[in-house]
Amino acid sequence: MFWQQYWCWLPTNYYLQMHSKMNKITVLTFGAITDITGQKNFEMDGIDSTEKLVETLEEKYPLLKTVQYAIAVDKEVIQQHTNLDSDATIAILPPFSGG
């Protein structure tokens, strides 16, 4: 009987521990974006898509709404909203110039 109680507890507790670690992403910022956020890199929890990331960042840093920027997911610039894996590295890139 003890084993049954332990067995029922273990998966639930294990799931909660793993779920709390999921969708932890690293955000890297550059140039004017670093000036706006005040941070060169930071981690965020509970972000499962670039759409949610943009929404969260623009809510926290309203000045981001006034600048154009690109998003790269794991070193690949994206053009549309993308689902994010746990431990993804996201770069917020200011406009590039030059030739």
Least confident of 12-16, 54-58, 83-87: 12-16
Q: pTM score, two decimals?
A: 0.73
What's the confidence (pLDDT) of residue 30? 95
CATH of 23-93, one of 3.40.47.10, 3.40.630.10, 3.10.20.30, 3.60.110.10: 3.10.20.30
Token digits for 12?
A: 């639930």
Query: Does 15 have pLDDT greater than 80?
Result: no
Q: What is the residue type of 99? A: G
Q: From the centroid of its chain, how far is CA 23?
A: 7
What's the confidence (pLDDT) of residue 42? 95
Question: Nearest-CA neighbor of 92 among 78, 77, 71?
Answer: 71
What's the confidence (pLDDT) of residue 71? 96
Distant-in-sequence contacts of 33-38, Cβ < 8 A, 24+ apart: 33/64, 33/67, 33/69, 33/92, 33/93, 33/94, 36/61, 36/63, 36/64, 36/67, 37/61, 37/64
Least confident of 9-13, 29-33, 66-70: 9-13
